[in-house]
Structure 1
Amino acid sequence: MTANMLSYLMFNRFQMSTPAYREAKNRLSDMDWNTSVQNLLNWADKGAMQLNKLIPALKKIALQDGANVNVDETWLRYHAYNKKRKTYMWCLVNRKARIVIFFYEDTTDDEGVQKHGGRNRNVLKEFLGDAKIKSLQSDGYNVYMYLDNELMDIEHLCCLAHARTKFKYAFDQGSLQARIFLELIGKLYGMEDTYRRERLTADEIYHRRNSKETTEIIDRIRTELYDLLANPDESRSELMSKALNYLKNFWNQIFAYRNDGEYSIDNMAAERAIRPITVQRKNS
C-alpha cells in the first residue's frame, strides 16, 4: 500500500460519504494534494481489500469469550444507479481491547424483499455468530433486546445517558418534574468519575456501585418514578412521559451496570465511535 493510498484512507475515515469528486476538487486541492477522482476510487478499493484481511483478526479479539461489547447503529445515504438509497451502518466496540468495528449487511425481509444495509436483528446475529460474549450494551432498540433465542448467556445492558437525555429534553421544555431525575442521575455519574480518577479495580468498582450510598440514590429514583406514574397528570408533557416510560421499561437493563465492575454506566463508547458518521450526514 503506497503512502498516498494510506493517507487517503486515513483522511477518508473522517470524511465518510463524501463524494470523491468533491474531495478531489475541494478538500484535497486545498491541501495542495492534486490527484484524480479515479485515483481516489482505486485507492479506496485497494485499501478495502487490505482492511478486509484485518477484520477477521480484530473480530476474533473483540468477540472473544466473556467479552463486554457496546453496539449502536445509524443510517446514512448512498448513491446507487443514480438514486439515493438509505442504509444502516453498525458499530461494535470492545472497550477493554480498544477495538471498534463498523459493519453492515444486506438482508431479506419476511416477504423476500432485499434490504440494502438492513437494521433488523439478522445483521447483528450474523456478525456475532456463535460468539460467547458476556454482555451487550445498547440504547434499548428492540433488535438488541431479543437475541436470547440464539445467545442465552448474554446480559443486556441499556444506556443511562439515554434516560438522562430524555429527562433533559423534558426539562428544557418546561417539565420541572424532570429536575430531580437529572440531579440523582448526575450523582451516579459523579461517582463514576470518582472511580476513574481513583483508578479503582473492577472489584472495587463493583463494591462501590453496590454500596449503601449508591443503592439509596437508585431507590430514590425508583420512588420518584413510580410516584409520578401512579399519579397521571394531564398537563405532563409528551417528552416527560417518554422519559418516564423509557426508565420504567428498561429499568433492569439500565441498572444492570452494577452487576460487574467492568460494565459501563452508558453506551457512550459506541455513540462516540459512530458520531463521525452522523456529523458527516448532517453536514452533507
Structure 2
Amino acid sequence: KFRVIVTRRPKYAFRGSDGVVQALAPAHIIEGGLPTERLLAYIAVSKYADGLPLYRQEAIYLRDGVEISRSLMAQWMGHLGFELQMLADYILERVKEGERIFADETTLPTLAPGSGKTTKAWLWAYARDDRPYGGTSPPMVAYRFEDSRGADCVTRHLSGFTGILQVDGYSAYTNLAKTRAKTGSNETVQLAGCWAHLRRKFYDLHISGVSQAATDTVLAMTELWRIEDEVRGKDADSRAARRQEKSSTTAASLFELWEKELGKVSGKSKTAEAISYALTRREALERFLTDGRIEIDSNIVERAIRPQTITRKNSLFAGSEGGGRTWAAVATLLQTCKMNGVDPLDWLSQTLTRIAQGWPASEIEALMPWNFRSDAVS
C-alpha cells in the first residue's frame, strides 16, 4: 500500500528581525528525494531477499498507479549499498572472530560496461553458526563480490582469521591452508571437509545403478547423519565422544571399502573419480570425528548461498560491478536477519531511519540484526 506523506514546514518571520525561520525537513537516506526509508527497505527486501527483480517491481507498482522506473530504483539501491557497506564489513569481521567458519562461492554474471554482454563474476559467502555445538554467538553470513574465483580472493577475505575452515574440495581453500602452514603464519587454518559434497558424487552413481560400491556407500553414510541428529546442539566434547563411539567405525569402513574398490575399476571412471576425491581429502573429512565444533557438512553456508542463486536466476545478472557490491552488502544483512529469525523489512526500515538520523559509528553493534528490537525508539 502506497501513501503520500505530506510534511508541512511553516515559515516564520519576526518583527524587528531579518530573515525567515523554517522548521527543518525530516532526515532521509535519499536527501531531497521521494522515497521514505520504508519504501527503500521494501524495494531492497523484495529484490535481495525475495528474489523479485527491479523490472518486475516496476510493473507491480505501476498497477497501483505508482510510476517508479527501474533505473531510479537501481540508483536508490546503489545509495543503500554505500550506506550499508560499513555494517556488512562489520559482520565479516564478526564472522572471522569465530572458532570455525564455513565458506562457499557461486557465480554471479555481471554486465560488462558498454558491451551489452555479461562477464563471469563471483559471490563468496562466509558463514558462522556456533549453535550446533552449543555456542551462544548469533548466526551470521557475509558475502563478498569479486570478478575472480582466485585464491587471492579468499586470502584477502580471511585475513586475520585463525581456526577451522569448513569447505568443499575447492583448491583455493586448500592453497590458503598450505600457504599459511609453509610461511609459519600465526593465522593457521585447519580445513574440515564436507561429507555432503562427497555423498552427492556417490549418490549420482547409485541412482544410475553403475556401482554397487556407490550404493553401499550411500547406505552406510545414512548412519553418519543419524548420529549427527543425536548430537546437534550438544557441547563439543559430547559430540566428539559420541562420534568416536559410533561414527568413527563407519567412516573407517567406508575408506576401507573405497581403497579396495579403487583397484577394481577403471581409473577414468566416475566411480574412481568419486573415490579419489574422498581418499585425497581423508584428513579433512575425518576431522569432524575428533573435534565436536566441526559439522559433518557445510550445509550451513550452502543454505545461505541458495537464496542468492534464486535471486540470480530471476535477475539474470548484476547490472555492474557496483551493483554486484551492493548485492553483496545488502544480502549480507538481510540473510543474517533471516538466520536470526528477524523480519528483514522491519529491521532494514528501522536501521535506515537510524542511519539517516545520524546514528554514531561507535554504536554499530546495536544496529546488528541479532540486537533488533521492533519496539525500540529509532
Q: Same fold (TM over 0.5)?
A: yes
SS of the residue 2:120 aligns to: strand
Confirm or deny: 8 A CA contact 2:92 2:126 kept in the other structure.
no
SS of the residue 1:261 aligns to: coil
Partner of 1:240: 271
Mapped partners of 2:64, 2:153: distance in 1:
38
1:222 maps onto 2:255 in alignment: yes
2:304 corresponds to which of 258, 273, 277: 273
Q: What CA deviation, in whole Å up to 9, does each residue of 1:118-160 have, x standing for no partner?
A: 10011111111222x2111111100000113235521101110
1:69 corresponds to which of 98, 101, 107: 101
What letter is aligned with 2:95?
Answer: A
Partner of 2:143: 102
What letter is aligned with 1:227?
Answer: K
What letter is aligned with 1:170?
Answer: L
Q: CA RMSD in A?
A: 2.3
Deviation at 1:215, TM superposition (A): 2.1
Mapped partners of 2:52, 2:153: distance in 1:
21
2:156 corresponds to which of 126, 129, 141: 126
Compared with structure 1, are the counterparts of its residues 33 and 271 closer, same or farther at alpha carbon in structure 2 (3 Å cutoff)? farther
1:173 maps onto 2:208 in alignment: yes
- Count of residue pairs the alignment pairs up: 264
Q: Structure 1 length as normaliser, TM-score?
A: 0.85
Q: What CA deviation, in whole Å up to 9, does each residue of 1:183-231 have, x standing for no partner?
A: 11110001001112xx4222110111111x3222112112111110132
SS of the residue 1:210 aligns to: helix
Q: What CA deviation, in whole Å up to 9, does each residue of 1:92-138 have, x standing for no partner?
A: 00112411011023xxxxxxxxxxx110011111111222x211111
Partner of 2:371: none
SS of the residue 2:90 aligns to: helix
Q: Structure 2 length as normaliser, TM-score?
A: 0.65
Mapped partners of 2:288, 2:64: distance in 1:
46
What letter is aligned with 1:200?
Answer: K
Mapped partners of 1:33, 1:210: distance in 2:
62
Deviation at 1:278, TM superposition (A): 2.5
Mapped partners of 1:241, 1:103: distance in 2:
35
Q: Which has the higher contact order (CA 8 A, sep 6+)?
A: 2
Deviation at 1:45, TM superposition (A): 1.2
2:117 corresponds to which of 68, 75, 83: 83
1:204 maps onto 2:204 in alignment: no
* Percentage of matched positions with identical amino acids: 22
Deviation at 1:237, TM superposition (A): 8.3
1:184 maps onto 2:184 in alignment: no
Mark the runs of 5 or more structure 2 residues left unpaired by the alignment: 1-28, 30-36, 131-137, 317-378
Confirm or deny: 8 A CA contact 2:126 2:142 kept in the other structure.
yes
Mark the runs of 5 or more structure 1 residues left unpaired by the alignment: 106-116
Compared with structure 1, are the counterparts of its residues 184 and 49 closer, same or farther at alpha carbon in structure 2 (3 Å cutoff)? same
1:53 corresponds to which of 83, 86, 91: 86
